[in-house]
Amino acid sequence: MNPCRWCDGTGTWHPEKPHRSEAGEITWIQVAETCRMCVGIGEEQPRQETASSQPARSNAPPVPYRDALRAERERLTTRLQEIDAALSDL
Ligand SMILES: [Zn+2]
Protein backbone atom coordinates (compact mmCIF):
# COMPACT_ATOMS: atom_id res chain seq x y z
CA MET A 1 0.00 0.00 0.00
CA ASN A 2 2.11 2.84 -1.24
CA PRO A 3 0.90 6.34 -2.09
CA CYS A 4 1.99 7.85 -5.39
CA ARG A 5 5.70 7.09 -5.57
CA TRP A 6 6.42 10.49 -7.08
CA CYS A 7 4.65 12.77 -4.64
CA ASP A 8 3.66 10.51 -1.73
CA GLY A 9 0.05 11.42 -2.45
CA THR A 10 0.46 15.13 -1.85
CA GLY A 11 -0.06 16.05 -5.53
CA THR A 12 3.17 18.00 -5.54
CA TRP A 13 6.58 16.60 -6.31
CA HIS A 14 10.01 18.16 -6.13
CA PRO A 15 12.12 17.28 -9.14
CA GLU A 16 15.52 18.78 -9.71
CA LYS A 17 16.06 20.86 -12.80
CA PRO A 18 19.28 22.02 -14.40
CA HIS A 19 19.94 25.69 -13.92
CA ARG A 20 22.69 27.71 -15.59
CA SER A 21 24.24 30.20 -13.24
CA GLU A 22 25.54 33.58 -14.32
CA ALA A 23 29.00 32.07 -14.40
CA GLY A 24 27.79 29.53 -16.91
CA GLU A 25 27.89 26.62 -14.54
CA ILE A 26 25.14 24.06 -14.60
CA THR A 27 23.69 23.45 -11.20
CA TRP A 28 20.64 21.58 -10.07
CA ILE A 29 17.81 23.36 -8.34
CA GLN A 30 14.82 21.79 -6.71
CA VAL A 31 11.44 22.98 -7.93
CA ALA A 32 7.90 22.21 -6.90
CA GLU A 33 5.52 20.99 -9.58
CA THR A 34 2.11 19.42 -9.75
CA CYS A 35 2.73 15.70 -9.75
CA ARG A 36 2.70 14.55 -13.36
CA MET A 37 1.73 11.02 -12.52
CA CYS A 38 -1.30 12.13 -10.57
CA VAL A 39 -2.28 14.50 -13.40
CA GLY A 40 -1.67 11.76 -15.95
CA ILE A 41 -4.16 9.46 -14.32
CA GLY A 42 -6.80 12.16 -14.02
CA GLU A 43 -6.49 12.65 -10.30
CA GLU A 44 -5.33 16.21 -10.32
CA GLN A 45 -6.51 17.84 -7.18
CA PRO A 46 -6.76 21.45 -6.05
CA ARG A 47 -4.00 22.60 -3.79
CA GLN A 48 -5.07 22.68 -0.20
CA GLU A 49 -3.74 24.87 2.53
CA THR A 50 -2.93 21.87 4.65
CA ALA A 51 -1.41 19.87 1.82
CA SER A 52 2.11 20.03 3.19
CA SER A 53 1.27 18.67 6.60
CA GLN A 54 -1.68 16.49 5.72
CA PRO A 55 -1.89 14.63 2.41
CA ALA A 56 -5.25 15.39 0.86
CA ARG A 57 -5.61 11.94 -0.64
CA SER A 58 -5.06 10.07 2.59
CA ASN A 59 -8.49 8.50 2.26
CA ALA A 60 -8.15 7.64 -1.41
CA PRO A 61 -6.77 4.26 -2.33
CA PRO A 62 -3.22 4.56 -3.62
CA VAL A 63 -2.76 3.87 -7.30
CA PRO A 64 -0.01 1.40 -8.09
CA TYR A 65 2.63 2.79 -10.39
CA ARG A 66 1.93 0.08 -12.96
CA ASP A 67 -1.75 1.02 -13.07
CA ALA A 68 -0.84 4.68 -13.45
CA LEU A 69 1.34 3.84 -16.42
CA ARG A 70 -1.39 1.72 -17.96
CA ALA A 71 -3.93 4.52 -17.55
CA GLU A 72 -1.51 6.99 -19.13
CA ARG A 73 -0.87 4.62 -22.03
CA GLU A 74 -4.58 4.15 -22.58
CA ARG A 75 -5.13 7.91 -22.57
CA LEU A 76 -2.36 8.46 -25.10
CA THR A 77 -3.57 5.61 -27.29
CA THR A 78 -7.03 7.15 -27.40
CA ARG A 79 -5.49 10.51 -28.27
CA LEU A 80 -3.46 8.94 -31.05
CA GLN A 81 -6.61 7.43 -32.52
CA GLU A 82 -8.30 10.82 -32.41
CA ILE A 83 -5.35 12.40 -34.20
CA ASP A 84 -5.26 9.66 -36.83
CA ALA A 85 -8.98 10.12 -37.44
CA ALA A 86 -8.53 13.88 -37.78
CA LEU A 87 -5.63 13.44 -40.19
CA SER A 88 -7.56 11.03 -42.38
CA ASP A 89 -10.26 13.67 -42.80
CA LEU A 90 -7.81 16.24 -44.16
ZN1 LIG B 1 1.59 11.91 -7.46
Cα(86)–Cα(75) distance, integer angstroms: 17
Count Cβ neighbours within 10 Å for each residue of 1-28 and write b for 16 or more, e otherwise. eebbebbebbbbbeeeeeeeeeeeeeee
Q: Is pTM, for the whole model, over 0.85?
A: no
CA of 86 to the centre of ligand 1 (A): 32
List, in order, residues 6 or more apart from 49 with CB less than 8 Å away.
Answer: none
CA of 32 to the centre of ligand 1 (A): 12
Return the amino acid letter for 6: W
pLDDT tens digits, 26-44: 888 888 888 877 766 554 4
Instruction: Indicate whether 50 pLDDT > 50.
Output: no
At 58, phi and psi to the nearest 5? -60, -25
Comparing 38 with 88, the larger pLDDT belongs to: 88
